[in-house]
Chain A
Amino acid sequence: MSADAVKNEVRAVRDLRGAVRRYAEHIRDADADSRREVAAADHEAREAVERRRSQLHRAEQELRQARSALAQCQENCGGLQRAVADAQERQAQAKRQFDNARRAAQLTSSAQSDLLKVLQTIDAVVGEHSSVASSALATLEIRLCQLPHFDLGAAVHNALLGTGVAAEIAVSAMGISKLAGNVSQGALPTADHVESISQVQDLQAEDGQQLWKEVELDNRKRGYADDGEVEA
């Protein structure tokens, strides 16, 4: 695998990892917002029920008073009869509004209950899969970041010694393949993969070229910079 190919892999993994992280954040934000919004709607409907219950009680009381006054009336009772009719109308309207508020509260309560059940499942699914995916991608990214300097180093090494390049690149590619297999299962790299990297390191250690050490040092510095970027 060429250095450019490895860089592209690293970039792809980093982009995907960032996308998974942002996705989980947006889902969490939307989850919190929707819980708050539905709770507010339910609270508003319950308040309306209580407010309209009070209005209904008042209307019923006014109707009882109007009927009582009419019952005591002996003559010229037209005004009291109209007062009773008006009170009956207001009571009927208050009753309709109270019933509507109760139906509204049932709807918001049901909406809240149904939504919370779904959100609980979503939380679990997104939490689990984003965590495993992020962890696996982070591991893959770290391992991939180790590969370019083997390939880059191998290129320098080849220029000096003219040997070993194909073997090192093959081992590096094998490492990626095994690691990708582990990542797809959401698992950490196996000892097999680490062993393949170690084999490359052993090959390099044997050469002991000063130039190679300088390349290693330079790559370590870049590695630290990458780690800082990942953490940031």
Chain B
Amino acid sequence: MSLQEPIRKVESARIELNRVAANTQGWSDGQRADFDNQRMKPLSDAGARMAAALMKAQEQCVAARRLLAE
């Protein structure tokens, strides 16, 4: 059992989303900033929370496996 792959997938997805968002600045700067704050930031933040929760779950599962191996 490993959550390494889901963790990697979430983190690479966040990096890619943030990269594209940074490289596609367009239309009115102010309007784009609003769009980024209202839509892109919550998406990216959700990924960060998910990665943190997956890492915590991974630690718990590793500890459980260690107990089973004793």
Binding site for B on A (CB under 8 A): 8-9, 12-13, 15-16, 18-20, 22-24, 26-27, 29-31, 33-34, 37-38, 40-41, 44-45, 48, 96-97, 100-101, 103-105, 107-108, 110-112, 114-115, 118-119, 121-122, 125-126, 129-130, 132-133, 136, 140, 176-177, 180-181, 183-186
Contacts and interface: CB of A to CB of B under 8 A. Distances in A.
B68 A100 contact: yes
B32 to A, nearest CB: 7
Contact of B46 (A41, A97, A105, A126): A126
Nearest to B13: A26
A185 B54 contact: no
A105 B61 CA distance: 9
9 contacts: A20-B39, A20-B40, A37-B1, A37-B2, A122-B50, A125-B46, A136-B35, A183-B35, A184-B35
Interface of B: 1-3, 5-7, 9-10, 12-14, 16-17, 20-21, 23-28, 31-32, 34-35, 38-40, 42-43, 46-47, 49-50, 53-54, 56-57, 60-61, 63-65, 67-68, 70
Contacts of A112: 57
B26 A13 contact: yes
Question: What does DSSP make chain B's interface, helix, strand, loop or mixed?
Answer: helix
B46 to A, nearest CB: 4
B68 A26 contact: no
Nearest to A49: B68
Nearest to B27: A180
A16 B20 contact: yes
Contacts of B63: 104, 107
Contact of A183 (B13, B31, B50, B70): B31
Contact of B9 (A30, A122, A129): A30
A111 B70 CA distance: 20
B43 A126 contact: yes
B25 A41 contact: no
